[in-house]
Amino acid sequence: MSTDTLRRTAAPGRPATRARRARRGPGRNLVDLLLILGAAATSLPFFWMIFAALKPRSEATAVPPHLLPQEPTWEFVRTLFVDLDFGRYLANTIIVVAIGFVGLFFMAMAGYGFAKFEFRGKSIMFAAVLATMMIPVQVTMIPTYLILNAVGLTGTLVGIALPTLVSAFGIFLFRQFMSTIPDELLEAARLDGAGHGRTFVSIVLPMSGPILAVQAVLTFIAGWNSFLWPLILAGEQSKYTLSVGLALLNQQVATNPSLQMAGAAVMVVPIVVVFIFFQRYIVQGFTMSGLK
């Protein structure tokens, strides 16, 4: 998927936005004020977290509390990586995310299969896919542990990534989007002698830029944030992800808010950066998935 594709599909939104802005009425100021207040309230915990991460311990528990640190310090971020093992947790987390991208490819393939082919068992398979959305993780937790244990994948990063490799929601969004690709295009590719695999890789995937961007971000977020499976499956400390390391921080040093906030910030800030970079494609991708 090239950024070029993204830019081209992103373009049609712009003139409409400009036209809408031209029609601004007097009620707009109130709407904008409400939005700013809401955004401030919603994101307050983040600013609190980031500023607290840079506060010396005495300031973090001061009464009355101040939002901005008076004497900011990097001490606690340093502690995480030097004294604690957060460098290793970070590397493990990145590996889990990378394995998740294999799942992303599988979901795209399945979305294409369900959108553009007729085959025996299709409707029952798709119904089964959607039905898995209803299944609470508490139902599958114990059996999945037993299954992974039986094939020797407990205590491995692959085992941590496997249970959430594919999501029904992802397949659903891919299918919604790919059913809007014109059949004529796919037929033309086949006339030119492209096989199904070739058609998928060189026609379908490049045309699916927006939805791929959404799914890539969602896959990244899910892998980065996943907590339950790393907690249950990791076993030894060398396989911990950031989330498990952070949870331990909660128990070990419950009296040191600055260190906790520093740990939380290490988990949250990379996601926020990725998200801000991709967010316009996310709304676009959902729009194009026809979910209205």
Partner 1 sequence: MSTTTARRAARASSRSAGAAPYLLVGPAVLALALFGILPILVAAGVSLTDLNIRGLGDPSSVEFVGLANYERLVADGDFWNALRVTGILAVVGVPTVVLVSLTTALLLHTSGGRLARILRSFYFLPAITAIVAVALVWGYLFNSQFGLLNHLLGTVGLDPVPWLSDPTWAKVSVGIVAVWRASGLNTIILLAGLQGIPHEYDEAAQLDGANRWTRTWRIQVPLLRFALFFVTVTTVISWLQFFDEPYVLTEGGPNKATTSISLYIFQQGFRYNQFGFASAGSLVLLVIIAVVTLVQLRGRRNDVD
> Please, what is the minimum distance in Å from the beta carbon of residue 82 to partner 1?
20
Distance (Å, whole) CA 262 – CA 112:
42
Q: Which of residues 30-49 bind partner 1 (CB under 8 A)?
A: 31-32, 34-36, 38-40, 42-43, 45-46, 48-49
Q: Which of residues 84-103 bind partner 1 (CB under 8 A)?
A: 103
- Residue 129 three-state SS: helix
Q: Is 223 in the site for partner 1 (CB under 8 A)?
A: no
Q: Which of residues 5-24 bind partner 1 (CB under 8 A)?
A: 13, 16-17, 19-21, 24
Q: Which one of 1-9, 72-80, 83-91, 109-117 is the stretch in contact with partner 1 (CB under 8 A)?
A: 109-117
Q: Is 171 in the site for partner 1 (CB under 8 A)?
A: yes
User: If binding means CB under 8 A, how many residues of this protein chain bind partner 1?
Assistant: 111
Distance (Å, whole) CA 31 – CA 22:
16
Q: Is 278 in the site for partner 1 (CB under 8 A)?
A: no
> Please, what is the minimum distance in Å from the beta carbon of residue 31 to partner 1?
5
Distance (Å, whole) CA 271 – CA 242:
13
Among 73, 84, 154, 190, binds partner 1 (CB under 8 A): 190
Which residue is associated with the tokens 């492209």? 194
CA separation, residue 63 to residues 123, 255, 284 (Å): 61, 15, 45
> Please, what is the minimum distance in Å from the beta carbon of residue 127 to partner 1?
11
Query: Nearer to partner 1 by C-beta: 82 or 146?
Result: 146
Q: Is 208 in the site for partner 1 (CB under 8 A)?
A: no
Helix (H) or strand (E) holding 262: helix 257-288
The DSSP letter of residue 201 is I
Cα four-point dihedral sign 159, 161, 164, 166: negative
Query: Nearer to partner 1 by C-beta: 71 or 120?
Result: 120
Distance (Å, whole) CA 208 – CA 212:
6
Among 7, 8, 122, 198, binds partner 1 (CB under 8 A): 122
Which residue is associated with the tokens 């068992």? 121
Q: Is 264 in the site for partner 1 (CB under 8 A)?
A: yes
Q: Which one of 3-11, 73-81, 84-92, 254-262 is the stretch in contact with partner 1 (CB under 8 A)?
A: 254-262
Closest CA to 252 of 47, 79, 51, 45: 79
Which residue is associated with the tokens 């407990």? 154
Query: Going residue by residue from 58 to 87, which x/- string records binding to partner 1, judged by CB under 8 A?
Result: --xxxxxx----------------------
Helices (H), 84-164: 86-116, 122-131, 137-150, 157-161
Are residues 13 and 33 in contact, defined by beta-carbon separation less than 8 angstroms?
Answer: no
Q: Is 127 in the site for partner 1 (CB under 8 A)?
A: no
Query: Nearer to partner 1 by C-beta: 91 or 139?
Result: 139
Q: Is 3 in the site for partner 1 (CB under 8 A)?
A: no
Q: Is 201 in the site for partner 1 (CB under 8 A)?
A: no
Closest CA to 116 of 49, 52, 184: 184
